[in-house]
Amino acid sequence: MRDHNTIIVWLREDLRLGDHPAFEAAVRAGGAVVPVFVWSPEEEGRWAAGGASRWWLHHSLARMEEALAGCGSRLVIRAGPVAETLQALCKETGARMVHCSRRYGPVGAAQETRVTETLHAAGVTLRRFWVLLYEAELIATGQGTPYQVFTPFWRRCLAQGEPRMPLPRVTRLPAPARWPAGVALASLGLMPKMAWAGGISRAWTPGEAGAQAALREFIREAKRVENYPADRDVPAVVGTSRLSPYLHFGEIGPHTVWHAVRGAAKTGGEAYLRQLGWREFAQHLLHHFPHTAERPLRADYGYFPWREDALGLRAWQRGQTGYPIIDAGMRQLWETGWMHNRVRMIVASFLVKDLLIAWQAGAAWFWDTLVDADLANNTMGWQWAGGCGADAAPYFRVFNPVLQGEKFDTQGDYVKRYVPELAHVPARWIHKPWLMPELELAAAGVILGKQYPAPIIGHTAARIRALEALTRMQKAARAQTK
């Protein structure tokens, strides 16, 4: 049964029913609505979802199937090239209109271009809906160029006024007379072959309901947003929103978060909304500079003398560097699919500056292990750490892992949670066990180099080496431009 009034809603990073402009407009159009998800990792190339993201996506799609069933609808899942698959579905259903939520970055944007062209040839229109608080086309400097510094960028955004209110939740979706065929979710093979996701599933509840629960807890039940400015930097405390994976997969939209925070938070709201601003900034940067996922924004960093160091990289990945705050962070990531943002900055600085390993290697590991892996955020964060991005930390800002640990994890609670070998080390030594007197080490049951490693590199010397590498890069860049 073909019905030209049918609209296909092509779901991507927008797996929700609340505040969903593409669904809302499709329902308003009055015809049948066919929700579709197309799995096409080969089209995403290098940036196909990593292991942790696939685990998350599997569960999100399962929740989406349930939610759509509750609306008298279904989720049609297919695997294959996106443009051709959508074209085939239009033919099968008679749809002449496809709705989707926009994606930023090289992969998503290219996909939209290809889909638009393919569908156009078949007489079908792709209508893209906005997803950010402030879309990239609306924000530019006085000269019409993209902002590369956050503060003026965010000031410009705020000058546009408050973001729109969230749209009402979709509750009924008119079904087509006949559903097109789909494949079973399990056939996509998103779940890990080995059972490594136990820690992740204990830590997270993917899906729109999980997102709403996290938001409620953040602003109302635990009222964490009130203390956000101070607590967000303490990794042992749950002081952040923990909304990042939900925002990435679109299980909650930024407009919903914005207005919930605005309405509820007397204090602390501004600081958190600013973090939503960083998310917008990252999306805009990747839109304007799509090559930055691979290469430094600041071209002179192309001359940086990175080291090849497979052993060092592996020690960092496994949380075996001998620096407790680094190892705790990397193990939190491995176990739970997430790492506290303060600790992300510390471990990134260590990889890039102490080990002199290229930031791309760190970005690749995060991509595979984070449940909130997002190309825009990941790219901006790693370029920030590498000193080569927009508004980046100057390269000579080298985090001292001992001082950072002592400052933000004073009692060592965070370290002890993820590095049980150090459970009996007193707070005084928890961030520098290699300086402990022999007797105290023995009393704490620690044998350095045995069950917990000695530091794989001395920070003081590493810092000097990093600064020398920066000098060499600047020389090489200067010689090249002459």
Point out which residues bind DNA (CB under 7 A).
150, 233, 275, 278, 341-342, 345, 384, 391, 393-394, 396-400, 403-404, 407, 460, 463, 467
Closer CB to DNA, 12 or 342, in the complex: 342
CB 356 within 8 A of CB 466: yes
Q: How far is CA 289 from the centre of its chain?
A: 18
Least distance in angstroms from the C-beta of 459 to DNA: 7
Q: Which two tokens stand for residue 352?
A: 């890039």
Can you say whether residue 207 is alpha, beta or left, with left for phi > 0 and alpha for psi between -120 and 50 degrees?
left
Closer CB to DNA, 173 or 345, in the complex: 345
Least distance in angstroms from the C-beta of 325 to DNA: 10
Residues near 391 by Cβ (< 8 Å), separated by ≥ 6?
A: 148, 149, 150, 281, 384
Least distance in angstroms from the C-beta of 209 to DNA: 28
Least distance in angstroms from the C-beta of 470 to DNA: 8
Closer CB to DNA, 124 or 351, in the complex: 351
How many whole angstroms separate alpha carbon 332 and alpha carbon 343? 10
DSSP-based helix, strand, coil % in the chain, nearest 5: 55, 5, 40
Closer CB to DNA, 134 or 272, in the complex: 272
Closer CB to DNA, 48 or 403, in the complex: 403
CB 418 within 8 A of CB 319: yes
Closer CB to DNA, 63 or 232, in the complex: 232
Least distance in angstroms from the C-beta of 342 to DNA: 7
Q: Which two tokens stand for residue 54?
A: 């696939």
Closer CB to DNA, 88 or 476, in the complex: 476
Least distance in angstroms from the C-beta of 251 to DNA: 23
Please name the residue ranges forming H helices in 387-437.
401-408, 413-418
Q: Residue 340 is inside which H or E element, if any?
A: none
How many whole angstroms separate alpha carbon 202 and alpha carbon 213? 15
Of the candidates 51, 46, 48, 45, the one whose C-alpha atom is nearest the C-alpha of residue 369 is: 51
How many whole angstroms separate alpha carbon 19 and alpha carbon 191? 28
Least distance in angstroms from the C-beta of 345 to DNA: 6
Closer CB to DNA, 196 or 396, in the complex: 396
- Cα of first residue to Cα of last residue in the chain, in angstroms, is 68
Closer CB to DNA, 250 or 405, in the complex: 405
Least distance in angstroms from the C-beta of 232 to DNA: 8
Closer CB to DNA, 34 or 273, in the complex: 273
Q: Which two tokens stand for residue 85?
A: 């698959």
Least distance in angstroms from the C-beta of 472 to DNA: 12
Closer CB to DNA, 384 or 418, in the complex: 384
Query: Any idea which residue has 């000098």 for tokens?
Result: 471
CA distances from residue 207 to 46, 213, 252, 370 in whole angstroms, order as listed: 25, 10, 9, 16
Can you say whether residue 94 is alpha, beta or left, with left for phi > 0 and alpha for psi between -120 and 50 degrees?
left
Directed axis angle between helix 324-336 and helix 359-369, to 10°? 40
Closer CB to DNA, 81 or 229, in the complex: 229
Residues near 107 by Cβ (< 8 Å), separated by ≥ 6?
A: 43, 44, 45, 47, 375
Least distance in angstroms from the C-beta of 398 to DNA: 6
Closer CB to DNA, 36 or 392, in the complex: 392
The DSSP bridge pattern shows strands 7-11 and 33-39 to be parallel
How many whole angstroms separate alpha carbon 379 and alpha carbon 291? 10
Of the candidates 191, 204, 201, the one whose C-alpha atom is nearest the C-alpha of residue 245 is: 204
Least distance in angstroms from the C-beta of 407 to DNA: 6
Least distance in angstroms from the C-beta of 404 to DNA: 4
CB 82 within 8 A of CB 126: no
Can you say whether residue 135 is alpha, beta or left, with left for phi > 0 and alpha for psi between -120 and 50 degrees?
beta
